[in-house]
Amino acid sequence: MNTPEFSLPLRVYIEDTDAGGIVYYVNYLKFMERARTEFMRQLGFDKTFIFNKELMFVVKDVAVNYRTPARLDDELEATACIAKLGGANIVMRQEVRRDRQVLAAGDVTIVCVDQATLKPRKMPPAMLDVLRAQGET
């Protein structure tokens, strides 16, 4: 599918780093989470929309390749685009970059679940339409 890329600017703060001033590996996942959240918000699917539809999105699978470290005070961007879309799941292709250099890249599979049962469920048709339209140019 590969939709247009969404990009979120970020800065590395002391809380993101280890004692050596290098970004701790798990924080790349946090940066990616922020990009996914803002991407969905830009499309009109903020937390209010999601909770009003009695659904949640949960991470099912993450595969990340760490290439080179970010450091304290770096300006970064976290990106997100839809690589694959199913009725109840989305695979997001994501990167964290400094300038054009990819620091970490991976795919994150997210599944739509019912809030009450936590069992997979189809996304609302209007949501699927908007997500599918991201791939059309």
Q: Which of 16, 18, 74, 129 is catalytic?
A: 18
Task: Give the residue carrying structure tokens 């970004």.
Answer: 23
Residue type for position 119: K
Tell me, yes or no, if 18 is annotated catalytic. Answer: yes
What lies within 8 Å, CB to CB, of 122 at 6+ separation is 87, 88, 112, 128
Q: Are 93 and 107 in contact (CB under 8 A)?
A: yes
Sequence-distant (≥ 6) Cβ neighbours of residue 22 within 8 angstroms: 69, 70, 71
Q: Which two tokens stand for residue 8?
A: 């979120």
Tokens describing residue 74: 């770096």
Hey, which residues are catalytic here?
A: 18
